Amino acid sequence: IFELMDGFLKNDPTSLQNDILHHVEYTVARSRFSFDDFEAYQALAHSVRDRLIERWHDTQMHFKRKDPKRIYFLSLEFLMGRSLSNSVINLGIRDQFADALSQLGFELEVLAEQEGDAALGNGGLARLSACQMDSLATLDYPAVGYDYANQYGLFRQVILDGFQHEHLDFWLNFGNPWEIERVHVTYPVKFYGTVTDELLNEENGKVWVPKRTVEAVAYDNPIPGYGTRNTINLRLWAAKPSDQHNMESYNTGDYINAVVERQRAENISSILYPDDRSYQGKELRLKQQYFFVSASVQDIIRRFKDAHSTFDDFPEKVALHLNDTHPSLAIAEVMRVLVDEEHLGWNRAWNIICNVFTFTTHTVSPEGLEKIPVDLLGSLLPRHLQIIYDINFKFVEELKKRIGLDYNRLARMSIVEEGAVKSIQMANLSILCSHTVNGVSRVHSKLLTTKLFKDFYELWPEKFQYKTNGVTQRRWIVVSNPSLCALISKWLGTEDWIRDIDHLIGLREHAANGELHQEWKMVKKVNKIRLAEYIEAMSGLKVSLDAMFDVQTKRIHEYKRQLLNILGIIHRYDCIKNMDKNDRIKVVPRVCIIGGKAAPGYETAKKIIKLCHAVAEKINNDSDIGDLLKLVFIPDYNVSVAELVIPGADISQHLSTAGHEASGTGSMKFLMNGCLLLATVDGSTVEIIEEIGEDNMFLFGAKVHEVSALREKGPALKVPLQFSRVVRMVRDGYFGFKDYFKSLCDNIEGGQDYYLLGADFTSYLEAQAAADKAYVDQERWTEMSILSTAGSGRFSSDRTVEEYAQKTWGIQPCRCPF
Ligand code: 26W
């Protein structure tokens, strides 16, 4: 046994080659003498997977033996991206695999490109979950992530004639070597039906007689930590038809309908809602939420009961995290199980609930808060609706005692919202039932406690915390920017920063070192070449490496103000056109890169994408402009495209109107990669300023506290002539599609400019001019770039997760000893 402590699999080149060839022959079923890149990738992935499984088993065994308090991270979205490179790096066997492959005539980097992205999420929230899983594994925390297994990830963005089209992402069509199907880990998930009126007794709960059942089957995705054997689990639930119920149709001879009915069950886990702002009260969405929540809760309770005999220990062993309100039905579900199935009695169950749930909100606006129509919930989950009503009744009674009969405030705080459509305010439920409520940056937290959730804050100030978001340096430097990774390790004299980000600050003392400058610039150049090649392959456009690569990549939203960027580009174009030769020599050439998906139903965002293409068409084909200005839209922005784009950027733009970006995590990835930030003072930027100093950034725009006064001015708000001029160019059809773009222009003129593009335009142009000026002095620029990376340590998700562990979840590391 002891000889096997390190596992069966050896990592010397011969063993690795044997493993790969073995998988070519027996898993991929191709001849080991003849296989292509994709088949080689599959075989390689299976060899890596074997190693993951070994560590996963060891970790789970260890957790089982030690029985630590676990964190169960419930999230409807995880944007994991690709797994291969990340896995071999975290397992510490990247170089060994690269060597083994090269002897077989393959290149690791080339094979890595064969992998599709796991895009089970929309944007910021989803990638944050992925970064946090990496940190949880690396820091040895006993964590499990839960979600449902969507068959199609986020849609694939295809651009035709400058318009966005949404295509299905068949990411599972070629199999997924990174998941392990657990045919025996299944739970029934029930829907619809009725609740019997007859009480078992006051304390023992009620009887729900559901009408439909689907089966949830577990798919496990091992998440390896870096520099540790710990490998944690992301468990995804796929919906399968159940054998237990739905027999009625068969029995009545309606065979065809019975089969169709069964297929309908699988639809629950087929698709991801591609909207990251609004919830429309769709039944399928609610089914998805309950489906994954119910299966996860059954799994958690089963694991708990395996080791414990009384539920009074539950809060000592279980932390249940609600990543936004999307999984908040878990509250009603745990309550239902404890009261109706475990017969604990309401008060005992309630006490447990209040000690296990924690909640993070990622939203700033009241419109972003999820509301579920009562009718919808009552028909799909009648017992849960009752439980929520009961929770609310007791809450409101208690509230009246505390705050008196302030009916407006009572209505705002009530979980049940009376209105045109009576609905459940999921955020209120989550706040009430969680012992800790988190914002995702300091500014966000301030907005929560002074505006969005002020009423709750005044009642329970101690519940409210914030954890500034972070991103994992393993994915965003080590995987995506190997040259920078090597350079950092060389200058710090250690690789420790990969596990302990605090070391990164050590770069500061070398920030003025000329030798480092040379090497730093070389790394940036390598990454710019990589990006330029991608742009050329994708669009045919050749871009100059001497130009400043200026990037804005993120979901397309009015509040993120890609339109401000485009108007700025039009202004730049207009200025260059009106310059004489002497002035043109002084212009800093730019390659402006924009990328991101618009929600399929978000008309304005789609128009912004089209405008970007229309402007690009004009500028890029203007031979008079040449390399002085280029505009590129990168289609289908996702995690793997980000890995290519971010290291190649000189500067990146974060333009949200102050007070609208809860945190923003893209900026942190750029910062780590030594890109300078051009940004508003919003979300996490406020804290980035504190780390690297405003002299090393280009800041602009109205501050959070100035925004509402500016808005109130309405049509009286003065906008600069330059702004009116560029909007006029769009209005007049300078870029074509005059009628189509009219509404975009109407949205930002005549007192309608909610996101304050006009008000911020002058200071935006000033910040851009400052960036141009700084770029001319390449030594100063490089120093700023080094200082950006050096100061990015606070924005590692390792720090975020550490704070959550200590201040919110109350969990301890549990490190696998061998
Ligand atoms: C119900 C529809 C829905 C779906 C998703 C509403 C809201 C969401 C998310 C909360 C949107 C989101 O991704 N928010 C982003 O979360 C990031 C991680 O905390 C922050 O960095 C971003 O500022 C925030 O917009």
Among protein residues, the one whose CA lies closest to atom 16 of ligand 1: 125
- Token pair, residue 501, equals 């980000």
- Token pair, residue 671, equals 């910062």
Going from the C-alpha of 685 to that of each of 503, 667, 669, 732, 818, the distances in angstroms are 22, 8, 12, 36, 41
Reply yes or no on whether 64 is catalytic.
Answer: no
Choose among 258, 490, 467: nearest CA to 359.
Answer: 467
**Confidence label for 281 from pLDDT (cuts 50, 70 and 90):** confident
Give residue 664 CA to ligand 1 midpoint distance, Å. Answer: 9
Task: Indicate whether 4 pLDDT > 60.
Answer: no
Choose among 702, 683, 593: nearest CA to 646.
Answer: 593
Provide the H-helix boundaries in 91-178. Answer: 94-103, 108-112, 124-138
Best probe residue, ligand 1, of 359, 362, 430 (max atoms within 8 Å of C-beta)? 362
Q: How far apart are CA 71 and CA 78, in angstroms?
A: 16
**Averaged over 181-196, what is the pLDDT?**
96
* Pick from 108-112, 627-631, 750-754, 760-764: least confident: 750-754
Choose among 185, 200, 214, 140: nearest CA to 499.
Answer: 140
Do 590 and 548 touch, CB atoms closer than 8 A?
Answer: yes
With a CB cutoff of 8 Å and minimum separation 6, the contacts of 24 are 30, 31, 32, 35, 39, 40, 43
Residue indicated by tokens 């190693």: 51
Reply yes or no on whether 555 is catalytic.
Answer: yes
**Averaged over 54-83, what is the pLDDT?**
97
- Token pair, residue 386, equals 């009752």
Residue indicated by tokens 């300023």: 689
pLDDT at 249: 64
Q: How far apart are CA 367 and CA 253, in angstroms?
A: 48
**% of residues, the chain, pLDDT over 90:** 91
With a CB cutoff of 8 Å and minimum separation 6, the contacts of 586 are none
Radius of gyration of the chain (CA): 27
455: burial class by Cβ within 10 Å (0-12, 13-18, 19+)?
middle
SS3 466: strand
Among protein residues, the one whose CA lies closest to atom 11 of ligand 1: 276
- Is the Cβ atom of 372 under 6 angstroms away from ligand 1? no
- Is the Cβ atom of 430 under 6 angstroms away from ligand 1? no
Q: How far apart are CA 484 and CA 520, in angstroms?
A: 8
Task: Indicate whether 301 pLDDT > 90.
Answer: yes
ipTM: 0.96
* Sign of the four-CA dihedral 347, 348, 350, 354: positive
Ligand 1 nearest atom to the CA of residue 128, by list position: 18
Ligand 1 nearest atom to the CA of residue 370, by list position: 1
Phi/psi for 658 (5° steps) reads -55, 135
Do 188 and 242 touch, CB atoms closer than 8 A?
Answer: yes
* Pick from 509-513, 628-632, 814-818: least confident: 814-818
Do 805 and 479 touch, CB atoms closer than 8 A?
Answer: no
Do 678 and 554 touch, CB atoms closer than 8 A?
Answer: no
**% of residues, the chain, pLDDT over 70:** 98
Among protein residues, the one whose CA lies closest to atom 18 of ligand 1: 125
DSSP-assigned states of every residue in 233-250: EEEEEEEEE-SSS--HHH
What is the identity of the amino acid at 731?
R
Give residue 76 CA to ligand 1 midpoint distance, Å. Answer: 11
pLDDT at 248: 64
pLDDT at 372: 96
DSSP-assigned states of every residue in 73-90: EE-S-EEEE--HHHHHHH
What angle in degrees, to the nearest 10, is found between the helix axes of 778-790 and 514-539? 90
Provide the H-helix boundaries in 673-756. Answer: 685-692, 704-712, 721-731, 738-748
**Confidence label for 255 from pLDDT (cuts 50, 70 and 90):** confident
Q: How far apart are CA 464 and CA 486, in angstroms?
A: 40
**Confidence label for 757 from pLDDT (cuts 50, 70 and 90):** very high
Residue 503, number of CB atoms within 10 A of its CB: 18
| Catalytic option among 362, 371, 517, 606 | 362
Q: How far apart are CA 578 and CA 575, in angstroms?
A: 5
Establish how many alpha carbons lie within 13 A of residue 28's alpha carbon, considering only the half-sphere containing its beta carbon.
27
- Is the Cβ atom of 664 under 6 angstroms away from ligand 1? yes
Reply yes or no on whether 59 is catalytic.
Answer: no
Please provide the average confidence, as pLDDT, over all residues in the chain.
95
Residue 714, number of CB atoms within 10 A of its CB: 11
| pLDDT tens-digit series, residues 412-440 | 999 999 989 999 999 999 999 999 999 99
pLDDT at 160: 98
Do 666 and 691 touch, CB atoms closer than 8 A?
Answer: no
For 192-317, list the strands marked E by DSSP. 194-195, 208-209, 212-224, 231-241
Give residue 126 CA to ligand 1 midpoint distance, Å. Answer: 8
Reply yes or no on whether 525 is catalytic.
Answer: no
Phi/psi for 241 (5° steps) reads -65, 150
Task: Indicate whether 245 pLDDT > 90.
Answer: no
Q: How far apart are CA 676 and CA 520, in angstroms?
A: 14
- Is the Cβ atom of 378 under 6 angstroms away from ligand 1? no
**Averaged over 238-248, what is the pLDDT?**
76
| pLDDT tens-digit series, residues 700-728 | 999 999 999 999 999 999 999 999 999 99
Q: How far apart are CA 770 and CA 592, in angstroms?
A: 16
Choose among 164, 266, 226: nearest CA to 602.
Answer: 164
Ligand 1 nearest atom to the CA of residue 440, by list position: 19
**Averaged over 667-672, what is the pLDDT?**
98
Q: How far is CA 131 from the centre of its chain?
A: 8
Q: How far apart are CA 296 and CA 61, in angstroms?
A: 20
Reply yes or no on whether 528 is catalytic.
Answer: no
- Is the Cβ atom of 325 under 6 angstroms away from ligand 1? no
510: burial class by Cβ within 10 Å (0-12, 13-18, 19+)?
middle
Task: Indicate whether 187 pLDDT > 90.
Answer: yes
* Sign of the four-CA dihedral 301, 306, 311, 314: negative
Reply yes or no on whether 362 is catalytic.
Answer: yes
| Geometric angle at alpha carbon 396, from 395 and 402, rounded to 5° | 90
The H or E element containing residue 591 is: strand 590-595
Provide the H-helix boundaries in 381-513. Answer: 382-403, 407-413, 426-433, 442-447, 454-459, 473, 482-492
Determine the length of the chain.
Answer: 818
Ligand 1 nearest atom to the CA of residue 285, by list position: 1
SS3 168: coil
- Is the Cβ atom of 448 under 6 angstroms away from ligand 1? no
**Confidence label for 81 from pLDDT (cuts 50, 70 and 90):** very high
Give Dmax over CA atoms of the chain in angstroms: 90
160: burial class by Cβ within 10 Å (0-12, 13-18, 19+)?
exposed
pLDDT at 25: 98
Task: Indicate whether 252 pLDDT > 60.
Answer: yes
- Is the Cβ atom of 665 under 6 angstroms away from ligand 1? yes
The H or E element containing residue 323 is: strand 318-323
* Sign of the four-CA dihedral 486, 489, 491, 494: negative
List domains and CATH numbers for the chain: 67-82+117-468+803-809 (3.40.50.2000), 475-795 (3.40.50.2000)
Among protein residues, the one whose CA lies closest to atom 1 of ligand 1: 279
**Averaged over 678-705, what is the pLDDT?**
98
Q: How far apart are CA 387 and CA 734, in angstroms?
A: 59
- Token pair, residue 281, equals 């009260």
| pLDDT tens-digit series, residues 580-617 | 999 999 999 999 999 999 999 999 999 999 999 999 99
pLDDT at 247: 61
pLDDT at 260: 82
**Averaged over 69-83, what is the pLDDT?**
98
**Averaged over 262-285, what is the pLDDT?**
86
pLDDT at 258: 79
Residue 343, number of CB atoms within 10 A of its CB: 14
| Catalytic option among 303, 321, 560, 607 | 560
Q: How far apart are CA 79 and CA 149, in angstroms?
A: 12
- Is the Cβ atom of 666 under 6 angstroms away from ligand 1? no
pLDDT at 246: 57
Do 795 and 668 touch, CB atoms closer than 8 A?
Answer: yes
pLDDT at 749: 95
**Averaged over 795-800, what is the pLDDT?**
98
- Is the Cβ atom of 128 under 6 angstroms away from ligand 1? yes
SS3 590: strand
- Is the Cβ atom of 289 under 6 angstroms away from ligand 1? no
**Averaged over 394-403, what is the pLDDT?**
97
